[in-house]
Amino acid sequence: MNRRNSCYTVGWALPTSLNLEDLTLDALMHRACDWVGDYLKYNAPESDKFLCDTVEQ
């Protein structure tokens, strides 16, 4: 295969709108705790299991 004649295109789509409410610390912590909640509950070391206890679900 001759790589000199190869052409690659990379692209991405940007959101058309930005909701600033999603950038608050509370919203980000809520999303993060939703994402890692099962890990913290079942697999995390005992010292880390409390990390999302104060985040309102």
CA dist., res. 29 & res. 14, Å (int): 23
Q: What is the mean pLDDT of residues 23-46?
A: 91
Q: Quick one: which of 41, 38, 19 has its CA closest to 28?
A: 19
CA dist., res. 24 & res. 54, Å (int): 16
Quote the pLDDT of residue 44. Answer: 94
CA dist., res. 32 & res. 25, Å (int): 10
Given a cut of 70, is residue 40 above it in pLDDT? yes
**Domain ranges within the chain, ordered by starting residue:** 16-57
| 31, containing H or E segment | helix 25-42
CA dist., res. 27 & res. 21, Å (int): 7
